Structure 1
Amino acid sequence: GPIMLFHVFNFSQCVSHTFTTLYTGINGHTIAGIREFSAVTTLDGRQIDYYDSEIKELIPRQDWMKEFASTDTWKQDTEIRQQVQQIYKNNIHVLIERFNQSHGVHTYQRMYGCDWDDQTGASEGFNQYGYDGEDYVTLDVKLLRYMAAVPQGIITMLKWNNDRAQLELLRQYYQHECVHWLKQFLTSTENKTPELSLLQKNFSSPVECHITGFYPAAVTITWLKNGQEHYEDVDFGDLLPNMDGTFQKTVTLTVFPDEWKKNQYVCVVEHEGNTIQKILRKDEIKSNNSKFLIVWYSVFIVVILFRIFIILYVYMSFSDLSLN
């Protein structure tokens, strides 16, 4: 069955932060590279720790997480994941029978955590279980009641709703601990300032205000025309992840050069309380037309070589003639 994530991260909400743990159990794990159990914690979509059934250790995924790796909490989290690994192994076999399936490859997942708005202070918890990529049982965090998403989940729903001690632990987690750890990790993250470049393929192409290498993801990019916010002929690109966990984004301005020579256009970037900007001028633009130049130079060299070859050929021909 496909592995499916149930909670969508929304990077466009500038003040909202998301702290999530995802457990994935897979049976039929004899397939190369597939782990029987894995656990990953993310902060704003960025992986901060990792565990799987092969390494059996909790691994920090960010340099700033290493300071937490020596704490008692880290040791407890490692032990919890080792216990969950065994529970998931048993649960998958129960679910295979409950769904009346053959013993193929099946996945059982739990995704839990919280969203926190750093302006209003509002927080919201989530706790979802899935089987073979579909919702199975979901906890209504406000009501502290489980709800079955499929008929096969009713037995689980009734059993878990009767476990008052476990529900009380969940209440404590969502009211206090989840947001506490989210804030704790947020203060430890390394903010990275965006690098701003103005790019253009050739002199008549649109101008791209491109930023990259920034973290966290929340960012505002604005084009100003003569000091006023300018949205006409402006195209906002998607927020994209970089390999190192930082982000990049491009906002394109389509105006002809005579327009930005007559008017002042400025790209302004706001990130984590800092503002950087670049005025649209010829000397600020990095050209993307290097490939064109390479092709032009190549053609030029071929023509020169051809002419040299012709001269040599003529010279050699006359040399041959003179020998006779």
Structure 2
Amino acid sequence: MKILVTLICPLLVLKIDLASGGSRSLQHFYTGVTRGINFPEFTAVGLVDGEQFLYYDSNIRQAIPKVDWIKNNEGPEYWTRTTQIIQGNEADFKDSIGTVMQRFNQSGGIHTFLQMFGCELDVETGATDGYSQFGYDGADFLYLDLRSTSYVAPVKEALITKQKLDGTAESEKNYLTQECIEWLKKYVDYGMYSLERKVPPQVSLLQTDPSSPVVCHATGFYPDKVMISWQKDGQDLHEDVDVGETFPNHDGTFQKRAELKVTPDVRKKNQFTCVVEHKSGDPIHMILTEEKIRTNYRPGNNVPVIVAGLVVAALVLIAVVVGVVMVVKRRSGYKKARQPSLESVCSTGSYSSAASDAPLVKKKY
């Protein structure tokens, strides 16, 4: 079963692609939404290794800590400075949506603009990387190519923005590969105990009704890397299997699911097993039996009831990415990257880096 979060039209879905293996990551997400729905017009979220540590929205107008390790290590000056920087970008961000709408010849409707930026550090080799990109209404709008130190416009409507921002690419690259990395190291040092923890997954088999796919749902695990697969009579099964993305939970852990499409008759004649592999311990083998399936289905009820565990996935997606979700397509030639503010990006385009003691870059346009 697919989860559809129909908060915004068109729907934006964000795929959070986290650092792998021996890597550390620092990510920031800015999300702007046009007026017309009961949702903050602007939100900002910060994550270290996929764990949310910072939150801001246009209703509360204040950057707030989301985990103890940042709360216990940074005082009022840090939060005041961070709030001021985000508020400055918020004003530009809101203006930018109007500018981009004009580029697409749109005069109304509900639209979303996402800014995603951050950096990664390979702790084994010391290699660093950065990323910065914009998305508009569920599609790529602009991204920074660190290798060529220039912006790339996947759509013609972003060409003007690209031209204005190319002059800032060098400064942006320096921030992503240097200052961002220093903040990442500091945050990892703050939260080492929490970020190094290993929490095993809780595995359940879910199904809405006898004819729907069986979902192997793993949740509550940390870190985020997990492998979920299905086996048929002890052999790996690839056909009729749909493995989903990894989503964060509200408590800093993660969840993932893998669907198996199989008819009741085939299920009775073969043994199907869900295998969940996580670094917290030995692989978990969950053999598919009628007794192990959790469902809200009741014979005679023609209205399918969504399994509670999958509803949680939708709510988590809303909470972490501020309710607006956006699928960010990863191209072979670039990675995600940090970006300057929207309208500045879209109109004036004068860029200035902040002092090194600022957790985010304050941009001027």
TM value normalised by structure 1: 0.61
Per the TM alignment, residue 177 of structure 1 is displaced from its structure 2 partner at its CA by 2.5
State the distance in 2 between where 1:134 and 1:270 align: 33
Contact 1:115-1:124 within 8 A present in 2 as well = yes
Contact 1:38-1:53 within 8 A present in 2 as well = yes
The amino acid across from 1:181 in the alignment is: W
The secondary structure found in structure 1 opposite 2:130 is: strand
The amino acid across from 2:33 in the alignment is: I
Whether 2:26 is the aligned partner of 1:19: answer yes
Identity of aligned residues (%): 34
After superposition, residues 116-135 of structure 1 pair within 5 angstroms as: 116-135=121-140
After superposition, residues 88-127 of structure 1 pair within 5 angstroms as: 88-127=93-132
Per the TM alignment, residue 38 of structure 1 is displaced from its structure 2 partner at its CA by 0.9
Larger helix proportion of the pair: 1
The secondary structure found in structure 1 opposite 2:181 is: helix
User: Paired residues, what number?
Assistant: 274
User: Counterpart of 1:172?
Assistant: 174
Contact 1:41-1:48 within 8 A present in 2 as well = yes
Corresponding residue to 1:2 among 4, 10, 24 = 10
The amino acid across from 1:25 in the alignment is: G
Contact 1:109-1:130 within 8 A present in 2 as well = yes
Whether 2:65 is the aligned partner of 1:60: answer yes
Whether 2:162 is the aligned partner of 1:152: answer no
The alignment yields a C-alpha RMSD, in angstroms, of 4.9
Per the TM alignment, residue 249 of structure 1 is displaced from its structure 2 partner at its CA by 7.7
Whether 2:218 is the aligned partner of 1:218: answer no
Larger strand proportion of the pair: 1
After superposition, residues 190-201 of structure 1 pair within 5 angstroms as: 191-192=198-199
Point out which structure has higher relative CO (alpha carbons under 8 A, 6+ apart).
Answer: 2
State the distance in 1 between where 2:242 and 2:157 align: 43
The secondary structure found in structure 2 opposite 1:35 is: coil
The secondary structure found in structure 2 opposite 1:192 is: coil
TM value normalised by structure 2: 0.55
Structure 1: segments with no counterpart, 5+ residues: 198-208, 223-229, 251-267, 279-285, 290-324
Contact 1:213-1:248 within 8 A present in 2 as well = no
Per-residue Cα deviation, 1:17-61 (whole angstroms, up to 9, x for no partner): 44321111122x2x3421111111223443322111000011222
Contact 1:15-1:218 within 8 A present in 2 as well = no
Corresponding residue to 1:182 among 176, 181, 184 = 184
Give the 3 Å change call, closer, same or farther, for CA 66–288 of structure 1 in structure 2: same
After superposition, residues 301-320 of structure 1 pair within 5 angstroms as: none
Give the 3 Å change call, closer, same or farther, for CA 10–16 of structure 1 in structure 2: farther
The amino acid across from 2:176 in the alignment is: Y
Give the 3 Å change call, closer, same or farther, for CA 194–162 of structure 1 in structure 2: closer
Per-residue Cα deviation, 1:251-289 (whole angstroms, up to 9, x for no partner): xxxxxxxxxxxxxxxxx99866877999xxxxxxx9789
